Structure 1
Amino acid sequence: MSELEIIEAALFAAGRAVSLEKLAKISGKPKKTILSVLRELMEDYASRETGMEIVDLGERYVMQVKPEYSELIRMVAPKELSAPKLRTLSMIAYHQPLLQSDLIEMRGSGAYEHIRDLIERGFVDSVPCGRSRQLSTTLLFADYFGLKRNDPQAIKEKIIGLLKEDAGQSEINRWIGKKTVAVTPMYESLMGMCGIKDYLVINAYSPSKEDLSRLLEVDVLVISAGYLEEVRQHCDGEILEMHSTTFEDLIEAVSTIAEELQDEVNPETVEKTLDNLRETRGKYLSSTLLIKKKVQPATDMVSKIVNDLNLGVSADGVLIAPDYGTSKSGAKIGKGAEILLPTHRTVEGDLFRRVCLKYDAVLDGLKKIED
């Protein structure tokens, strides 16, 4: 038998990638000779009208069905990993090294059987780690999925790339164990403040058919405070109610999201955002020190801003009211007000800008009156 025939037979029989060193040992020839044979064999298969190919995975070689024929032969191919086991494997690969206890928390007790099978198949390594075990992928895993190396970052990118071909972001999140986060349009800027890049924007208050369908996929939904009962009938996920009237509201909102969505936020972005909010609030408080006029808030919203600015309050003080004039119930708000505050009904922009505009309106208005 020639070296070429031996190498071809070895790759066919292996059914997975074989190292150059192993092939050299099987043939009894030097690596340099086997490398030359492999190149000849790869060129031969590339020139044939055949459904097979030989792929170089970096000093590991595999004989496999060409990608364009994969779907055609699926019905006659051996049964591989079930969808639940594949999802468990994907989560190990994406989060590796991953504690078994953390995986069970994400996937449930049924994952114990998945882990045993994946270890037996040689896709996953398991080593003791405290009271649990640490799970990671193997070289065989890389071979199976056509990766040149068993590199965690490359594997993570490969998983996301494969899922994006056939799935939306929420489906990708489910496969890799991340939460699907959604916000109402007004709170989209809050995601940027927390460094969250993957999220959905949904009108949860009066949802369209498309919005209703998307709400069923949501794990965590961020909404304005006061709408919980209205939104709960559409969403089974966790609902976070947020206030955004004052800087203290924004600080609390960012802190809450950072605590509730630890795996989704960017800690550095959260820290910078909180520092900026506290610094900006401090500057506004400094501006109020010289203001002697007392104020009369027309609504609870105005009261929150006045209190956050440490302004004096009096029944005969300067009347401050929101600029919408009429409440949802039709009541007149702040008739004769000397200062009107811009609200979300009249101002567009991110949450930070909206709060600044409210504070500016109060302080600028008081300064004009005092002058």
Structure 2
Amino acid sequence: MRPKNIDEVVGQQHLVGAGKIIRRMVDARLLSSMILYGPPGTGKTSIASAIAGSTKYAFRMLNAATDSKKELEVVAEEAKMSGTVILLLDEIHRLTKPKQDFLLPHLESGRIILIGATTENPYIAINPAIRSRTQIFEVKPLTEDDIKKAIKRALSDKVNGLGMMNVDVAPEAMNHLCRATNGDLRSALNALELAVKSTPPENESKKINISLPIIEECLQHKALVQDKDGDAHYNVISAFQKSIRGSDADAALHYLARLLASGDLISVNRRLLTIAYEDIGLANPSAAARTVAAVTAAEKIGLPEARIPLSVAVIDLCLSPKSNSAIKAIDDALADIDHGGYGDVPAHLKDAHYQGAKTLGHGVDYQYPHDYPHDWVPQQYLPDPIKNKSYYQPKDNGRYEAALKDQYARLKKMQKGQK
């Protein structure tokens, strides 16, 4: 089911959609080496294969960790004899220096178009010599709609998929298959294939009926409930956040248990990090830091042990003072930007680190706060049209934000020349 050309790629429209960067490269046949990074099963190899299929270049796949320099030499010889070769190098963060030194001149000449694939952060894990010769693109987890589209394609494709078999997937089974794989299409297709090929057809209709229990078994993930409409998962996550926001520790632990029983560690971790900054925020910043530590621990140890740090975080957040002042402040600022509510940066704040800046009046009247008592001096920072705007509306539900509220008010008064 791997795509044969760029039009068949599922998801990743920020890269392969109309007018986007990889689509432009393919359409113009001006390919450059690139690194694709993101979670497993999200389309890194598929994009490389689709690029090769659309451009008709030779396509070779190697693994930086397991394939030797000799395999790279074979690809280089092929490129010399037949022209450009697209090389997908999986686990590129494991590329050794001898292999890297061999590849560099071939990348420079353009004979090899390298497409590196990795789940690691390339800005940290990949050698700068390779990184400087490639463009870096993030491949994002597929949405449920993306996975559903791919599954339906697999069920109807009579050549590469399961189209020759009479398969009926129950709506609740389809929803669970699309959701429980957390954006990993490979896992979804593997589970679908296992389910179809291990389920005997009905005697009379010869139809293979795939139910929710079958998909649960093939995925090894339990569904939250029998969920034909696909809403139960989101309802539980919503109740989870609202219970923490409402300071009900028992309800929050109940919904945490339901999510963990379904094996959905990823949604729990994402939601907890969001809650820590959205609902607790400046009322208790240390609780947010503790939540980050708990989520990190949960990711490292996995289930079932992950339930321990996560329950600590949930209780901590439930019983913490709450404040949504930070999210309201940034949302108000973004709303102004969306409606054109901004003006030119004041001249004294503009960059003055270039020849001719003073002629333009840039940075001329800037007052350096550290040259003044208490490292502060009144001067205008906001553009003229919104110079009196206040986005942050502090609360005093916790000691920390109460102190911020006092400091914010004091600075506002001093800015206006009041005592």
**Smaller-chain TM-score range?**
under 0.3
Larger radius of gyration: 1
Compare the two structures and name the one with the higher strand fraction. Answer: 1
Bigger relative contact order, structure 1 or 2, given CA contacts below 8 A and separation 6+?
2
Normalised to the residue count of structure 1, the TM-score between the two structures is 0.24
Normalised to the residue count of structure 2, the TM-score between the two structures is 0.22
